[in-house]
Amino acid sequence: YLFYSDLLPSKDDKDLTQYFLLQVVDILLNYIKKTFDAKSKILDFHHPHQLLEGLDGFNLNLSDHPESLEQILVDCTDTLKYGVKTGHPRYFNQLSSGLDMIGLAGEWLTATANTNMFTYEIAPVFTSMEAILLKKMYEIIGWGEAEADGIFSPGGSISNLYGILVARYKLYPEIKTKGMAALPCIVLFVSEQGHYSVKKAAAVLGIGVHHVIEVKCDERGKMIPDELEKNVLQAKTKGQAPFCVIATAGSTVFGAFDPLHAIADVCEKHKLWMHVDAAWGGGLLLSRKYSYKLSGIERANSVTWNPHKLMGVPLQCSAILIREKGLLEACNQMQAGYLFQPDKLYNVDFDTGDKSIQCGRHVDIFKLWLMWKAKGTCGFEEQINRYMELAKYFYKVLKEKDNFQLVFDAEPEFTNVCFWYLPPRLKYITKGLEREQELHKIAPKIKARMTEEGTAMISYQPCGDKVNFFRMIFSNPATRQTDVDYLIDEMERIGKDL
Amino acid sequence: YLFYSDLLPSKDDKDLTQYFLLQVVDILLNYIKKTFDAKSKILDFHHPHQLLEGLDGFNLNLSDHPESLEQILVDCTDTLKYGVKTGHPRYFNQLSSGLDMIGLAGEWLTATANTNMFTYEIAPVFTSMEAILLKKMYEIIGWGEAEADGIFSPGGSISNLYGILVARYKLYPEIKTKGMAALPCIVLFVSEQGHYSVKKAAAVLGIGVHHVIEVKCDERGKMIPDELEKNVLQAKTKGQAPFCVIATAGSTVFGAFDPLHAIADVCEKHKLWMHVDAAWGGGLLLSRKYSYKLSGIERANSVTWNPHKLMGVPLQCSAILIREKGLLEACNQMQAGYLFQPDKLYNVDFDTGDKSIQCGRHVDIFKLWLMWKAKGTCGFEEQINRYMELAKYFYKVLKEKDNFQLVFDAEPEFTNVCFWYLPPRLKYITKGLEREQELHKIAPKIKARMTEEGTAMISYQPCGDKVNFFRMIFSNPATRQTDVDYLIDEMERIGKDL
C-alpha cells in the first residue's frame, strides 16, 4: 500500500504524485460527465443517521492512523456518490446552481496556487485581478465617479453586513472607537421580502433586530416607496434615527425588483444611505435587454452583487461595492504592523487586507476573471437572456394547465416562477382553510418523492398568507426546455394520487 | 479556435471537455513540480503597475467578447507564472504555507461538487463530515460535555468575531433584538500581543475599539494574569461591564502562549466568558509532546482553531468551537422559511445554516476530512513535531552567529523565531538611537532583494520598542534543514554590504 508520506513533499516522487492526482482527476471527470447526463440521478438520498453510521464501507469516522492512497481514492468516489449533483440539468433547488467548466478550471488553479488575498506581496496577480473586476463592476452599475471601492467577501450575507457597517460609519464615524453607546437609536429599513441577512447583520452589528423596520410590499413583492417614507417619518417621530435603506434587486422567493429610483428619492430627501442588495439580481445588469429592471442602482451608495448566483460562477463569489472611495478602509483598518508594513518595495495601496473585516481572505476572484475572459460580457448576457426566456416558457406552460396554479398571474419579473401543484382530489374541496391546509402538505410530499427518486430538485416554502408553494429558478446553464417539461410531467406523475 | 461554448454543458462534447480540463491539470501538475523544486524561483516579482499594464501578452483586462480556449490555457499558465509559490520549501512568509497533495485533491473535489453548507439537503456528506470533525475537535480540546457546538467559518477573524458575538449574547440575550442600547458599557480584554481581529470584531459588533482593553504582556509576549485582573477591577470601578477575555494560544509575531489556567481563574472569579484564539496554536493540541502549552484550553467557553495554519490544510479552513450547545443557533437564527423548512423528509437538526452569520457557506470541511483520513492524527503530530524541531535547530544556529541577534535569548516557544540580521558596519555604531534607526532599515532591504531575486520569502515587522526584525515561521511541510541553512547564507550574502 502507498500512503500520503510517499507523495511530494514528504518524498521527492514526482511520478507517483502525478499519478495520484490524475487518479483523482479521473474520478472528477467521471462525475462531471454524469452531472450533465439528464438520465443520471441527481442524488442517491440517505438519511443523516445512515451516513453517520457508514454506508457500504463509506466510513466518515477519523482515526489516529493513516489510510492508504487507494482508500483515499475510494473515499473521494464515495463522497461524490452520496452527494448532490448541483450542476445536473434538473437541479433547480437554489439561486446558485450549475457547474461551469471554465469556473471549475479557475477553482482548481486557485486551489493549487493556495494563497491569500491580504497583500499584493503574496497574491500579486489575484489582487490585481480584483482591482480590475471591481472597476468593471462600478462601471456596469453606472457610477459616474472616477473612483469607487469594494471588496470580494465570503457571500451575500457578509456583503450586506459590509453595506450596513459602512453606512453606519459614514454617518457616525465615532462608532468605530466608541461603539453604539455614542449613537442615537439608529434604525434601518428593508422590505418584508428582503433577505434575512439584513436582520442577521443588525443582530451582529449591535443594532438589534427590532431596529430593522420592515416596509410593506405590493402584491408582486416590491417595496412600496410611500410606505418607506411613512415608516421613516414614523421612526423620526418616535425619536429614532433612520440611517440606511436596503433595497432589493431580485428577491429570493419572488424575484422582485424594488423600485430603485423612487427609493433613491426617499433616501435623498431624508439623507439616508441607500444599499442595494442585488446579490441575486446583479447579474441582470449584463443583459442589455433586461438591465432596465435595476434602473436607479447607479444612485445607490453601496451594492451587493454575487457572481456566484445568476452569473454561474462557482461558490463563493460575492462583491460589496461602495461608491465613495476610502470609506471601506477608514471603517475597517487597524494597521496591523506585521502584515501591512509601509516600507515594502512596491506601492502598498495594493495591499487590500485592511479594507476587510477578515484577515486572511480566500481567493474568489480568479474563477470570475477567467470566466469573463472566456465568455466575454456577451457570453454572460446570452446565458442570462436564455434563463429569462426559459422562465417565460415555464410560466406559459403552467398557465395552460389546470392542475397547476401560479402564485402571480402575470409574466415572471425574473427567473423565479412560483406555483402550486393541485392534485385532482383538491378540486372537490371548496376553497377555504381546509383546502389550504391540504395544499400546504402537497409540495413537501412531491419534493420528498423527487428527492428519494433523485429525479429533480426544486425548493418550496410558505410565504406570508401563502401556503407551501414551489419556487422554480433558472440559473443553471445545463437546463433545457426538455428538463422543464420533464419537471412538469414528474410533478403530475407523483402528485396526481396525493 | 475553440471556445467555452464548445464545452459541456453548452455542447454535449464530453471528449473535448475532458481534453480541456486535462490540459488545465497538466499546467497545474507542472506548477506543482516547480513548487517543490528548491532551485526554482519562489516568484518572478513585478510591480503592480507592470501587472496592470500587461506583461508579455498577459493582459488582465476584460472584454465584451470571448477568448479562445487556447488563450484561456495561456492565461492560466501566466497567472501561475507571475504568482507566488506558497508551497515552495523557502516560503516562510505567513503562518499558512505549504501545499498538501491530499488537501489539494480535496479542494479539487470540493470545487467539482460546488455545493453549499447551509442544508443537509444539498450537502449531505459535507454537513455530516462537519459534524464529525467538530466533535473530534471538542474531544481534543478536552471538553467534558457530551455535546458542544461549532461551525467552520471563512477565517480566524470571523471565528474570533463569533466567539465575542456569542459571549455577548450569553450574558445579554436581549442584544439580539434590542441592540447595544439595552446593554451597559461592555468591555473585553485581550493581550497587547493578541490578534488585531479582536479590535476589528469590536468595531463591527458596535462595541467600539476603545472598549477593547489591552492587557500587558511579560517579556515573552504572554498576557500577565495579574494585569488582567487589575484591568478587570479598574474597568468595574469606571462603571464598565467586563464580559469577555480573549486569551491567545500562539501569538502571530512571537508565537506566545498565554497562561490559560491563570486566565481561566480570573474569568471564573469575575464570571467572564473565556475565548481562546488558538487560530495559530490550535494544531499543537495534536502533538502529545507539545500540547501541554495549551493546558487550560479545556476551561475555555469558546475556541478559534484554524486548520489552515499549523495543520497545513489549504486556505480557508477555520473553526469556531463553542462549549455550550445551542447558543450559536439561539444567537444567530432568523428562521428563514424558504431555506429551513421544518417539513422536510429528514431530520432537520442537520441543517446547520441558521447557526451561521452567513447564508451560503463555502465547503471548507472536505479537504480537512480527507487529510485527516490520509494522515491520521499521528500524521499531523509527526509533521508538527518536525516544525518544532526545525525551530529549535534554527534558533541554535542563529545563537552561534555574531551577525544575527535573537529577539529572545531562549528556546522558541513555538515555531516562530524572531531575529535581526546585523550587517558588519553596524558593529561600528554604538548602541543607541542611530544604530536602531539603521537596523530598522535592514530587514526591508534584505526582504526586497530576496523578493526581487525570488530566492526566499520571510516576513518582518517592528513590534513595540523593537525595530524591524524578521519572523521565521515553520509550517511548511516542504521545508528541510538545508532550506534553513540556505536562508541564513542568503541573508549574510545580501546583508553583509548593507
Instruction: Please tell me the CATH code under which domain A4-93 is placed.
Output: 3.90.1150.170
Pair A308, A314: CB distance under 8 Å: yes
Q: Which pLDDT tens digit goes with each residue over A351-409? A: 888 899 999 999 999 999 999 999 999 999 999 999 999 999 999 999 999 999 999 99
Number of H helices, E strands in chain A: 14, 12
The arithmetic mean of pLDDT across residues A472-478, rounded, is 98
Mean pLDDT value across chain A: 96
Q: Phi, psi at residue A421, to the nearest 5°?
A: -95, 135
Lowest mean pLDDT: which of A128-132, A177-181, A349-353, B431-435? A349-353
In 3D, which of A237, A234, A184, A242 has the Cα closest to residue A212?
A242
Mean pLDDT value across chain B: 96
A30 at interface of B, judged by CB pairs closer than 8 A: no
In 3D, which of B188, B163, B155, B191 has the Cα closest to residue B302?
B163
Share of chain B above pLDDT 70, in %: 100
Q: Which pLDDT tens digit goes with each residue over B130-140? A: 999 999 999 99
C-alpha pair distances (Å), B407 with each of A154, B219, B374, B391: 37, 10, 38, 14
Tell me the CB-side half-sphere exposure of residue A50, using CA atoms within 13 A.
11
Pair B415, B475: CB distance under 8 Å: yes
The arithmetic mean of pLDDT across residues B339-359, rounded, is 88
**Rounded to whole angstroms, how far apart are CA atoms A70 and A63?**
16
CB contact under 8 A, A182 and B62: no
Number of H helices, E strands in chain B: 14, 12
Q: Which pLDDT tens digit goes with each residue over A45-94? A: 999 999 999 988 899 999 999 999 999 999 999 999 999 999 999 999 99
Architecture of B373-495 per CATH?
Alpha-Beta Complex (3.90)
The answer on pLDDT for B266 being more than 90 is yes
**Rounded to whole angstroms, how far apart are CA atoms A315 and A481?**
25
Domain coordinates in residue numbering, chain A? 4-93, 121-372
What percent of the residues of chain A are helix, what percent strand, and what percent coil, each to the nearest 5?
45, 15, 40
Residue A126, pLDDT score: 98
Residue B157, pLDDT score: 98
**Rounded to whole angstroms, how far apart are CA atoms B461 and B469?**
6
Strand A417-421 to strand A212-215: parallel, antiparallel, or no bridges (unpaired)?
unpaired
In 3D, which of B367, B377, B381, B366 has the Cα closest to residue B314?
B367
User: Per-residue confidence at A226, pLDDT binned at 50, 70, 90?
Assistant: very high
B190 at interface of A, judged by CB pairs closer than 8 A: no
DSSP codes, A17-51 = HHHHHHHHHHHHHHHHHHHT-TTS-SB----HHHH
Residue B339, pLDDT score: 73
- Closest by Cβ to B63, choosing from A175, A350, A376: A376
User: Per-residue confidence at B127, pLDDT binned at 50, 70, 90?
Assistant: very high
The answer on pLDDT for A335 being more than 90 is no
Residue A56, pLDDT score: 86
Q: A33: nearest CA in chain B? A: B14
The arithmetic mean of pLDDT across residues B287-307, rounded, is 98
Residue A352, pLDDT score: 86
CB contact under 8 A, A132 and B195: no
**Nine-digit cell at B156?**
480566524
The answer on pLDDT for A144 being more than 90 is no
Using an 8 Å CB-CB cutoff, list chain B residues near A375: 4, 66
Q: Is the peptide bond before A193 cis (omega within 30 degrees of 0)?
A: no
The answer on pLDDT for B337 being more than 90 is no
- Looking at the complex, report in whole angstroms how far the Cα of residue B59 sits from the nearest Cα belonging to chain A: 10
Residue B163, pLDDT score: 98
Pair A151, A328: CB distance under 8 Å: yes
Q: Which pLDDT tens digit goes with each residue over A261-291? A: 999 999 999 999 999 999 999 999 999 999 9
Residue A353, pLDDT score: 84
Residue B144, pLDDT score: 83
C-alpha pair distances (Å), B303 with each of A282, A452, B166, B281, B313: 37, 38, 11, 11, 18
Give alpha helix (H) positions in A82-224. Answer: 101-113, 124-141, 156-171, 175-178, 197-204
Q: Which pLDDT tens digit goes with each residue over A409-443? A: 999 999 999 999 999 999 889 989 999 999 999 99
A88 at interface of B, judged by CB pairs closer than 8 A: no
The answer on pLDDT for B169 being more than 90 is yes
**Nine-digit cell at A428?**
372537490
CB contact under 8 A, B444 and A344: yes
Residue B342, pLDDT score: 84
Share of chain A above pLDDT 70, in %: 100
The answer on pLDDT for A125 being more than 80 is yes
Lowest mean pLDDT: which of B33-42, B331-340, B450-459? B331-340
The arithmetic mean of pLDDT across residues A190-214, rounded, is 98
Give domain B116-362's CATH number out of 3.40.640.10, 3.40.50.10490, 3.40.120.10, 3.20.20.20.
3.40.640.10
Pair A444, B343: CB distance under 8 Å: yes
Query: Grid coordinates 494585569 are at which residue?
Result: B227
A225-237 helix and A260-270 helix, angle to the nearest 10 degrees: 20
Pair A325, A146: CB distance under 8 Å: no
**Nine-digit cell at B130?**
462537519
Burial of A381 (C-beta count, 10 Å sphere; 0-12/13-18/19+): buried
What is the three-class DSSP state of B175?
helix
**Rounded to whole angstroms, how far apart are CA atoms B133 and B282?**
14
- Closest by Cβ to B21, choosing from A29, A51, A338: A29
What is the three-class DSSP state of B132?
helix
A464 at interface of B, judged by CB pairs closer than 8 A: no
Host H or E run for residue B398: helix B365-400
In 3D, which of B4, B27, B8 has the Cα closest to residue B112?
B8
Q: Phi, psi at residue B145, to the nearest 5°?
A: -55, 145
Instruction: Please tell me the CATH code under which domain A121-372 is placed.
Output: 3.40.640.10
The answer on pLDDT for B400 being more than 90 is yes
Residue B353, pLDDT score: 84
